Structure 1
Amino acid sequence: MEHYTTDGLLGAAEEACRAGRPREAQSLLDQWWDSSPRAASQDVVILYTIDDPHTIRQLKLENAAREGYSFLVSFLLGQGAEITNSVLAAARNSNSTEVFQAFLDHGWDINELYWGTTSLSGVLKSDKLVDWHLEHGADPNLHLGRGGTPLERAAVEGSVHAVKSLMSHGARLEGSDALIAAAASMNENPEPIKIMAHLLDSGVDINRLQNVRDPDAATPLTGTALHQAVERGDAERVRFLLQRGANRDVKGFQGLTALEAAEAMRLNQMADVLRSERPDVIGNTVSLSS
């Protein structure tokens, strides 16, 4: 019999499944479990013990999904393992469409809510997984409010490709805070400005006031995309929005313009940008969406 490392056992089990040798796959899985460190088991809900067959099967499924072993995932689902939020999180880490396809093949509802969100909202950092989900029936508008719509979440944490893909599959712009989300994004790469450009080119109102779901969490800079770019402290985004026609006189949730709010919060650099941006450049078209 061949000898495998602990990591190699899981891969060998995948190959056995792929070759149609389920008994060998089960034996390798059991060897893997017996030889694996138990660090992962410490995170298991205390209601279970490590000897519980369901818990063991779930941990095997999580590891198979994380490694992208789609045949092994299918094998374990056939044994009664369940698709949980932890399993979906592991699958996202693999970036494997084959693993998600195995979920579908075993009756998974791609629009089922897990912890108040959908699988689509969880894969927005992966262009490949976004496209796969949308092509297989994921609803681009389904959410429960936590974290915003998929489009808003893609604007704040994803790519311009993800935003375009969501829009091409019917993501609604009406009432969306996607532009404001992009202006507030923590990403320091060029993507937020590219996303803002694409949204503006698609007709989004640059001066729209954001939806305020929690008034207690509002700040003097809760307001328009311009307000959010100022709060983010990103001079390039502020200049871009002004050049695209943002109205610096629009007041935010607390009745302050972006400049007034910047001054009140002592964001001196942002206040200087707002004061110094020449009026004669406002209204110029800047497009970075291509």
Structure 2
Amino acid sequence: MEDLPNQLFTAIEIGNAKLVTQLLDKGAPMNFELFAKATREKQYDILQSILDFGWDINTESAIDNKVPSALVYTFDDVALATWFLKHGADPNKRCQLRDATPLSYAIFEAPFMIIELFFQYGGSTECGQLLHYASMRYDPDGLRILKHLYNKDPCIMDRANDYLDEGYEEFAMNYRFGLCTPIQYAARAGSLESVRFLVEQGGDPWRLDPYRRTALSYAVRHQHEPIKHYLTHLKNESYVTV
């Protein structure tokens, strides 16, 4: 009896698109991990063959509930990301764990050109808790992306003092897993510019997280001295939120 699943894995492993098509014709079962593998290895012919057999490009991982679709594996290649989007990939497809989308993860870690591309193909500021994910960025693009989001939709700041997942049905389940406000995430990431911008837009640096820590607590804990000095100065000036 033929071992179609292993044969299909091997065909994708060696990049044999013709063999992949033959195996799919024989009824070899497709799954997300195989599609993701072909995506990461940029095997366009194989990806097209899989789609031709009816695979939904927006299928989420059955193993990792944080992965909304294989679109998240295209961030390092504009051509691949564009191919996915032209074939119907949805930048607003949420994962099973929470309202986190391919655009959310792009906001967190992708180059700016990928973020812009996702917006060009229907990415929405109303999905994916983008303010929180922008605040998590560790690189210097954090402030640029925060401003970009604000310019697209100033109402995004309505959640400046909310925890991640706050207002969603998943909040009760995820509450104790390190949920923070955008300012707390920015303080953890070490971005003074992002912290300052969020404060200027009405963010409250003194809201406590579920473990009763403030943004200043995170700055001290992670040894981000510029943020520590900035927030300490605000505290000494008796900063009051409006």
- Do they superpose with TM above 0.5? yes
CA change 1:88–1:227 in 2 (3 A) is: same
CA change 1:145–1:109 in 2 (3 A) is: closer
Within 2, Cα distance between the matches of 1:151 and 1:81?
A: 32
* 1:81 and 2:37 aligned: no
Please tell me the residue identity of whatever aligns with 1:211. Answer: D
CA change 1:106–1:119 in 2 (3 A) is: same
**TM-score normalised according to structure 1 size:** 0.62
Larger Rg: 1
Residue 272 of structure 1 deviates from its aligned partner by: 0.9
- Could you tell me which of 118, 122, 145 is aligned with 1:195? 145
- Which residue of the partner structure matches residue 167 of structure 1? 119
**TM-score normalised according to structure 2 size:** 0.72
CA offset digits 1:250-283 (Å, max 9, x no partner): 6254476533x34774746121133458xxxxxx
- Could you tell me which of 61, 83, 98 is aligned with 2:11? 61
- Which residue of the partner structure matches residue 237 of structure 2? none
CA change 1:120–1:208 in 2 (3 A) is: farther
* 1:123 and 2:74 aligned: yes
- Which residue of the partner structure matches residue 144 of structure 1? 95
CA change 1:268–1:54 in 2 (3 A) is: closer
- Which residue of the partner structure matches residue 114 of structure 1? 61
Paired residues of 2:160 and 2:203 also in contact (CA < 8 A): yes
Structure 2 unaligned residues grouped into runs of 5+: 235-242
CA change 1:266–1:71 in 2 (3 A) is: closer
Structure 1 unaligned residues grouped into runs of 5+: 1-50, 278-290
- Which residue of the partner structure matches residue 180 of structure 1? 132
Paired residues of 1:120 and 1:150 also in contact (CA < 8 A): yes
CA change 1:273–1:167 in 2 (3 A) is: same
Please tell me the residue identity of whatever aligns with 1:166. Answer: F
Aligned residues: 217
CA change 1:131–1:250 in 2 (3 A) is: farther
CA offset digits 1:49-89 (Å, max 9, x no partner): xx85224412322313xx4x444433433343332223123
In the TM superposition, 1:1-290 aligns within 5 A as 53-64=3-14, 67=15, 69-115=16-62, 116=65, 117-146=68-97, 148-174=100-126, 176-186=128-138, 188=139, 190-203=140-153, 204-205=156-157, 207-209=160-162, 210-212=164-166, 213=171, 214-218=174-178, 222-223=180-181, 225-239=182-196, 241=198, 245=201, 247-249=203-205, 251-254=207-210, 257-259=214-216, 261-262=217-218, 265=221, 267=223, 269=225, 270-275=227-232
Paired residues of 1:140 and 1:171 also in contact (CA < 8 A): yes
Percent of counterpart pairs with the same letter?
23
CA change 1:198–1:72 in 2 (3 A) is: farther
Paired residues of 1:113 and 1:119 also in contact (CA < 8 A): yes
Residue 180 of structure 1 deviates from its aligned partner by: 1.4
Paired residues of 1:156 and 1:184 also in contact (CA < 8 A): yes
CA change 1:171–1:250 in 2 (3 A) is: farther
* RMSD of aligned alpha carbons: 3.2
Paired residues of 2:108 and 2:136 also in contact (CA < 8 A): yes
Residue 114 of structure 1 deviates from its aligned partner by: 3.1
Residue 230 of structure 1 deviates from its aligned partner by: 0.3
Paired residues of 1:140 and 1:151 also in contact (CA < 8 A): yes
- Which residue of the partner structure matches residue 12 of structure 1? none
Within 2, Cα distance between the matches of 1:135 and 1:185?
A: 27
